[in-house]
Structure 1
Amino acid sequence: MDLDGGNRRVFNRLGGSSTAAPDSSRNQKVCYHWRAGKCSRFPCPFLHRELPHPSGPAAATANGSGAPKRFADDSGFSGPALRRGPNFNNNHNNSWGRMGANKVVRKTEKVCNYWVQGNCNYGDKCRFLHSWSLGECFTLLNHLDGHQKVVTGIALPAGMDKLYTGSKDETVRAWDTNTGQCMGAINLGGEVGCMISEGPWLFVGIPNVVKAWNTQTNQELSLSGPVGQVYTMVVGNDLLFAGTQDGTILAWKFNAVTNNFEPAASLKGHTLAVVSLVVGANRLYSGSMDHSIKAWSLETLQCLQTLTEHTNVVMSLLCWEQFLLSCSLDQTIKVWVATESGNLEVTYSHKEEHGLLNLRGMPDSESKPVLMCSCNDNSVRLYDLPSFSEKGKIFAKQEIRAIEVGPGGLFFTGDGTGFRVWKWAEAVPKP
């Protein structure tokens, strides 16, 4: 897939230098007023640049061993593995976050408002970012707009050269992946709460119904049963599951004879809306506004365990190897692993400064696993796993509610201004 926009490099290393005085004659402290953007002293006795992170032996000491420790299987996130999820067992590596001292060297983590408006006079000397991202390992290929409200779903049906986006503006748009042009829009008469694709099928959740389109035959179906908004969907064990506003998880199974999706089950147990679903290790996991996660058997559809360690809405779930990852508006990402009894327990908890909205995983250009998590401060953090060392950051004007992984190192982020197409930079060959 080659989306229009080229391989433009969008990251600028905004390193500042001062001619006021050499570093050797200055107090080795960063100027507080310079950080606030209002230093008027010339020459200033303090530094007008950020101090570099330690390197060499000192860095190795601060970092434990100097290099992030990884699991034996470092293949990371593959497309099918994300859906199948982990095979939970007790042979886990408990090194989550232990080696997370490596940070991206950066200036002020804020996009320059004047640069956004096209009239910043400071250019490369501006201490704010003139870029929508921070990090050298990925590039922005294109920014496509057209939706009037936040994008809540991005899907790429198999074998097609089209990408679909759904939005709270009540429309689904189709995009040509070769030209980046919008090929058309459908008004559904209700806010799109979620959207996924499985094979040729495109599923769209709106209030009180799931719309299904076969992108090869143009067959259109309406799956009734949901009460209120459909917030999340996933496919597992030949069943389509949908989490709804009233706390119920509905399941449908495709009948090849009738060429239709027929109701198969209704899973009850959550007391508030179900907003996240994922399948892994022959289980269905559901996250809810009631702050809990439930594990369901895919064979019996019975609830096996309820997890209550989060203290706010469980917004997103992700399976990786033998681990389950969850994120919440309580500002934490929790990593779960199965005990000898088969029950899940938290093996690591990562704290953020803002509430978390969405989790996605994919391999970078070196096939190493990367976690992408969107926060409600209009950003996406990228972390190496399992170390949780920071790899980069993506910024937007509004909350990024949709993240999707594509082929060939592509990934997509959707917010209230449209969606952006990103690509991992090519790995530098080692000598």
Structure 2
Amino acid sequence: MDVDGGGNKRVFHRLGGPQSDPSKNQKVCFHWRAGKCNRHPCPFLHRELPPPPSQQGLNGTASSKRHHAFSATTDGPSARNRGPNNFNGGASSTWGRTGGTRVFVRKMEKVCNYWVQGNCSYGDKCKFLHCWSMGDSFSLLTQLDGHQKVVSGIALPSGSDKLYTGSKDQTVRVWDCQSGQCLGVINLGGEVGCMISEGPWVFVGIPDVVKAWNTQTNSELSLSGPVGQVYALVVGNDLLFAGTQDGSILAWKFNAVTNCFEPAASLKGHTLAVVSLVVGANRLYSGSMDHSIRVWSLETLQCIQTLTEHTSVVMSVLCWDQFLLSCSLDQQLKVWVATQSGNLEVTYTHKEEHGLITLCGMHDSEAKPVLLCACNDNTVRVYDLPAFSERGKIFSKEEIRSIQVGPGGLFFTGDGTGQVRVWKWVADLASTA
């Protein structure tokens, strides 16, 4: 190449010439920073420029500007739980290129598509995540494959060594908790809208019926009465409640003499489907597609309050201590507390950038209360309560619709692809360091 002729002089000057100051007239290759430069030779630098002497940090290697960018990226509630493994060792090359830390964080908090397909060639140098989570407090144990559509329910009956998962592929799968092998597939002939366990019983909501299995006696019952899909199930005050597509909540009571569930009540009030139910403080709370939450007395089965602060579907309700937590597709998570009059009022609103799908409360390995909040951007945020400080994140190919707590620090997630993942809480490395 004739470096003295025409436009090639510009290339020569970009490189600074043989005697130029390395901090002037040089440019770091944009494509190299992105990890995909294929020019040989490349007219730009394949290394970072050294900082000016006046910007050297205390260790003599990092500029004050770069140190500030790092602080802006990691300072805050979630910083203490994000170790270097979460950034895959290649983060420093993106600091100067992004023009701001927000872009950097969003890029790094994304699972590498090539890694998912098993053919990422950058390995540890890839700027995207090669794992399904961020955070040091929990780890992925295994993955259970088999369902073909979204996992809509996960249940672990007491006294059983089996895990039950229900899906919109119209099946319930039974898994061995020791080996992780699928022991059987139950075809129901209808999409599973929800599934819970209470004692030895497993309850499954499908269109127009609730299936009940006793895992100890192997008996099976069908509870008729629902109109349309059954979206939510909960047990309280010796009653089984089902939230249905037509907006009603049906209740059954178990008769030990006849060994069957007898209809007990039908709660009316919601104008659209009831998609979430929870029991706490002698109350039944129901979230609906009509954007409201209704509070029912478990003694009288009458509605005693209607909460209308959400502006979209109330996807999940959860009781924690004396509080009620609710989340909605309106991107808001609300914390409710009872006033002296007994009515619930919002005491705190947490806002996300995406719609919220489901909530699950549990305790970590140190018995601290933790909230898992699934969003419709295919992630689950992990928060410490009551501060709502973020301590981790779980990623998935599609929305995670089911989260279930297990014994011994285990918890389970089920996503839209049909995959069930088993997680375990571990010691918080940041707090023990």
> If the length of structure 2 is used for normalisation, what is the TM-score?
0.78
Alignment check: 8 A CA contact 1:140 1:421 kept: yes
> 3-state DSSP class of the match of 1:290?
coil
Taking the TM superposition and a 5 Å limit, the aligned residue runs for 1:339-378 are 339-378=339-378
Q: 1:50 to 1:139 in 2, by over 3 A?
A: farther
Counterpart CA distance in 2 for 1:193 and 1:373 is 19
Structure 2 counterpart of 1:258, which letter?
A: T
Q: Is the 8 A contact 1:201 1:212 kept in 2?
A: yes
Which segment is superposed worse, 47-56 or 248-257?
47-56
User: Which residue of structure 2 lines up, in the alignment, with residue 308 of structure 1?
Assistant: 308
C-alpha distance in structure 2 between counterparts of 1:420 and 1:427, whole Å: 21
Q: Which residue of 2 aligns with 1:417?
A: 418
Matches within 5 A, 1:6-405: 42=45, 43=47, 51-53=69-71, 108-405=108-405
CA contact (8 A) 1:34 1:48 kept: no
Change (3 A) 1:275 1:138: same
SS in 2 for 1:53: helix
Shift of residue 49 of structure 1?
A: 9.9
The alignment's C-alpha RMSD in Å is 3.0
CA spacing shift, 1:311–1:367, aligned 2, 3 Å: same
In 2, distance between residues paired with 1:164 and 1:35?
47
Q: In 2 relative to 1, CA 288–405 (structure 1 residues): closer, same or farther, beyond 3 Å? A: same
Amino acid at match of 2:297: S
Q: Which digits, 9 at most, give the CA deviation of each residue in 1:180-217, with x for residues without a partner? A: 00000010000000000000000000000000000000
The amino acid that maps onto 1:222 is: S
CA contact (8 A) 1:398 1:417 kept: no
Report Cα offsets for 1:327-379 as digits up to 9, x if no partner. Answer: 00001100000111111111111111111110001111111111001111111
Measured at CA, do residues 106 and 221 of structure 1 come closer, stay the same or move farther in structure 2, by a change above 3 Å? same
Give the AA of the match of 1:426.
A
Instruction: Indicate how the Cα distance of structure 1 residues 34 and 316 shifts in structure 2: closer, same or farther if over 3 A, else same.
Output: farther
* Partner secondary structure for residue 172 of structure 2: strand
- Shift in Å, 1:107: 6.0
CA distance 1:51–1:184, change in 2 (3 Å): same
Name stretches of at least 5 consecutive residues in structure 2 with no aligned partner. 1-22, 52-64, 81-104
Evaluate the alpha carbon distance shift between residue 234 and residue 361 of structure 1 in structure 2; reply closer, same or farther with a 3 A threshold. same
Fraction of identical pairs, as percent: 76
CA distance in 2 between partners of 1:159 and 1:422 (Å): 21
Matched residue of 1:185: which SS?
strand
Q: What amino acid is the match of 1:194?
A: C
Deviation of 1:398 (Å): 1.1
Give the C-alpha shift of residue 425 in structure 1: 1.0
Query: What whole-Å deviation, never above 9, does each CA across 1:210-250 have from its counterpart, x for those lacking one?
Result: 00000000111000000000000000000000000000000
Q: Greater helix percent: which structure?
A: 2
The DSSP-based 3-state class of the residue aligned with 1:391 is strand
Aligned length: 364
The structure that has the greater radius of gyration is: 2
Letter in 2 for 1:379: T
Shift in CA distance, 52/292, structure 1 to aligned 2, threshold 3 Å? same
Provide the TM-score with structure 1 as the length reference.
Answer: 0.79
User: CA separation of 1:50/1:430 partners in 2, compared to 1, >3 Å: closer, same or farther?
Assistant: closer
Matched residue type, 1:51: A
Higher RCO, 1 vs 2 (CA within 8 Å, ≥6 residues apart):
1
Offset at 1:109? 1.1
Q: What is the CA distance between 1:36 and its match in structure 2?
A: 7.1
Q: In the aligned structure 2, how far is the partner of 1:385 from the partner of 1:283?
A: 22
Gaps of 5+ in 1: 1-24, 68-104
